[in-house]
């Protein structure tokens, strides 16, 4: 990431900034916009959001001034040429305008997000996903479509998957074998819901449903799936192990897994200091390398811990966009088909006739498992669960299957799932 600073300075000096547009105008979009204004060589030119007033307020807050409302791509291009920020109540103009280099998708929604991403890809835009829900559900097929179009599709740097993948690539580059990667998680209650998380959500200015998705482990599983798919890793068991320890550095005393001949696993530590960030465990059998690693305080080996004690996605999303444009490099992207998926598990006893309310809701939480299991057992992905009607009872903490539900008709996400399963049938 450090190499970006000089490249962006040159773009700024040349008067040729990387131009990004955001779809979504919620909590995270506001933070991304604020940081983007502080970075030379990057320019936020447009925000699309169904409630257009929220997009306008973001530009006003971050010092972008009064934005022009547009309905067509040519209107957007004209405004950008005049140095005027743009807002729209439909993603189409920002996905199709020639002046936009990169789209940052930050809605957190699966169906709407998939539509915008496909539109942007088909019009030659790089895409940064600040949307683990979408990426964990259909990231591999979207990546395949981006490859065909000659553009970059990537999840954002700065969030835990991006932090973990940067560490993982570093570990590989210095000659070690990554065998374990994951998040540092502070709190987990699988049965959390928007009501139990309401007070905290209001105290930090976020939606209770989104906070519930963090507390119940759904977001944790989705982020782990992104790393698994990008690294070629799996999980040791459904839901992962979740190593409880006082500090992430204690992990080496707890991890007793065999070193795989290739690949590795994703997992997490729970309740550990520093309370945020991500980690990677690397392995080396080389005696000289181990001698020097020990001298430089990394331990006797053969396992070595690397970790970062922070994750700040709002600060690094626009850097991820620049990374795609300037170097053609993705921070986090599936290497081929899915290795892991996130399935829907009942938060309580569910009855036939109930409608599942999706990520962070009252009915289900998401849990990661290996794709071989999810396919053989026909398990329902968490990312497609919203709006599904149960046709059978499902006990608490049991997985929901495709046979347990009736899918809503006409959804893009279901068509993409079928296409993904067909393309990567042998994954």
What local confidence, expressed as pLDDT, does residue 100 receive?
96
- Distance, CA of 356 to CA of 367 (rounded, Å): 16
Integer-rounded Cα Rg, in Å, for the chain is 21
Per 3-state DSSP, the chain is made up of helix, strand and coil in percentages (nearest 5) of 40, 20, 40
Q: What average pLDDT does the structure give for the chain?
A: 95
Query: Binning pLDDT at 50, 70 and 90, where does residue 262 land?
Result: confident
Question: What average pLDDT score do residues 264-271 get?
Answer: 96
Question: What average pLDDT score do residues 239-257 get?
Answer: 91
- Distance, CA of 417 to CA of 213 (rounded, Å): 22
Q: What is the pLDDT of residues 129-144, one digit of tens each?
A: 999 999 999 999 999 9
- Distance, CA of 153 to CA of 135 (rounded, Å): 10
- Distance, CA of 11 to CA of 101 (rounded, Å): 13
Question: What average pLDDT score do residues 175-196 get?
Answer: 96
- Side-chain-side CA neighbours of 306 within 13 Å: the count stands at 22
For residues 215 and 192, the answer to whether their CB atoms sit within 8 Å is yes
- Distance, CA of 77 to CA of 280 (rounded, Å): 43
Determine the 3-state secondary structure of 299 from DSSP: coil
Q: Are strands 177-185 and 265-270 parallel, antiparallel or unpaired?
A: parallel
**pLDDT higher at 3 or 124:** 124
Among residues 395, 263, 17, 324, the alpha carbon closest in space to that of 9 is found at 17
Among residues 359, 363, 362, the alpha carbon closest in space to that of 342 is found at 359
Residue 203, number of CB atoms within 10 A of its CB: 9
Question: What average pLDDT score do residues 165-190 get?
Answer: 96
Residue 299, number of CB atoms within 10 A of its CB: 14
> At a CB cut-off of 8 Å and minimum separation 6, what does 260 contact?
179
pLDDT above 60 (res 351): yes
Main-chain dihedrals φ then ψ at residue 299, nearest 5 degrees: 105, 175
What local confidence, expressed as pLDDT, does residue 426 receive?
63
What local confidence, expressed as pLDDT, does residue 96 receive?
96
Q: What is the pLDDT of residues 316-346, one digit of tens each?
A: 999 999 999 999 999 999 999 999 999 999 9
- Distance, CA of 342 to CA of 384 (rounded, Å): 10
- Side-chain-side CA neighbours of 116 within 13 Å: the count stands at 32
What local confidence, expressed as pLDDT, does residue 63 receive?
86
pLDDT above 60 (res 1): no
Instruction: Please state which of the ranges 62-66, 283-287, 349-353 shows the lowest mean pLDDT.
Output: 62-66
Q: What is the pLDDT of residues 59-111, one digit of tens each?
A: 999 987 889 999 999 999 999 999 999 999 999 999 999 999 999 999 999 99
Q: What is the pLDDT of residues 367-412, one digit of tens each?
A: 999 999 999 999 999 999 999 999 999 999 999 999 999 999 999 9
Task: Return the structure tokens found at 336.
Answer: 């081929």
pLDDT above 60 (res 427): no
pLDDT above 70 (res 169): yes
Indicate the helix (H) or strand (E) that contains 42.
Answer: strand 42-48
101 alpha-carbon distance from chain centroid: 20
- Distance, CA of 95 to CA of 118 (rounded, Å): 9
Question: What average pLDDT score do residues 177-206 get?
Answer: 95
Main-chain dihedrals φ then ψ at residue 188, nearest 5 degrees: -150, 125
Residue 42, number of CB atoms within 10 A of its CB: 24
What local confidence, expressed as pLDDT, does residue 263 receive?
86
307 alpha-carbon distance from chain centroid: 19
Confidence (pTM): 0.96
- Distance, CA of 341 to CA of 338 (rounded, Å): 7
Query: Binning pLDDT at 50, 70 and 90, where does residue 425 land?
Result: confident
């Amino acid at each position: 990431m450090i190499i970006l600073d000089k490249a962006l300075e040159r773009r700024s000096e040349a008067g040729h900034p990387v131009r990004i547009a955001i779809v979504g105008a919620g909590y995270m979009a506001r933070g991304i916009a604020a940081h983007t204004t502080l970075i030379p060589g990057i320019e936020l030119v447009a925000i699309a959001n169904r409630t257009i007033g929220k997009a306008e307020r973001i530009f006003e807050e971050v010092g972008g001034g009064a934005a022009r409302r547009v309905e067509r791509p040519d209107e957007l291009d004209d405004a950008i040429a005049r140095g005027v920020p743009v807002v729209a109540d439909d993603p189409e103009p920002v996905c199709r305008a020639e002046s936009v280099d990169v789209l940052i998708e930050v809605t957190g929604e699966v169906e709407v997000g998939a539509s915008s991403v496909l539109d942007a890809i088909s019009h030659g835009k790089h895409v940064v996903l600040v949307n683990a829900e979408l990426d964990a559900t259909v990231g591999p097929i979207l990546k395949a479509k981006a490859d065909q179009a000659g553009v970059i599709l990537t999840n954002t740097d700065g969030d835990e998957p991006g932090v973990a993948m940067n560490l993982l690539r570093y570990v590989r580059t210095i000659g070690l074998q990554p065998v374990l990667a994951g998040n540092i998680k502070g709190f987990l209650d699988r049965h959390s819901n928007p009501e139990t998380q309401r007070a905290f959500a209001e105290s930090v200015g976020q939606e209770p449903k989104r906070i519930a998705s963090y507390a119940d482990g759904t977001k944790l599983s989705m982020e782990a799936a992104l790393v698994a798919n990008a690294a070629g890793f799996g999980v040791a068991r459904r839901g992962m192990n979740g190593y409880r320890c006082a500090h992430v550095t204690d992990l080496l005393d707890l991890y007793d897994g065999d070193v795989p001949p290739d690949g590795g696993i994703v997992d997490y530590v729970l309740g550990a200091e520093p309370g945020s960030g991500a980690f990677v465990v690397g392995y080396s059998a080389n005696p000289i390398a181990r001698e020097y690693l020990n001298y430089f305080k990394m331990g006797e080996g053969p396992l070595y811990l690397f970790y970062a004690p922070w994750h700040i996605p709002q600060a690094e999303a626009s850097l991820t966009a620049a990374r795609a444009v300037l170097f053609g490099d993705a921070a986090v992207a599936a290497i081929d088909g899915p290795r892991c998926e996130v399935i829907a598990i009942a938060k309580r006893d569910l009855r036939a006739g109930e409608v599942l309310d999706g990520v962070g809701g009252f009915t289900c939480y998401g849990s990661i498992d290996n794709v071989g299991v999810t396919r053989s057992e026909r398990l329902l992905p968490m990312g497609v669960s919203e709006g599904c009607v149960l046709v059978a009872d499902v006990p608490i903490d049991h997985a929901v299957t495709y046979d347990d539900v009736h899918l809503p008709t006409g959804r893009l996400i279901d068509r993409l799932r079928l296409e993904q399963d067909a393309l990567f049938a042998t994954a």
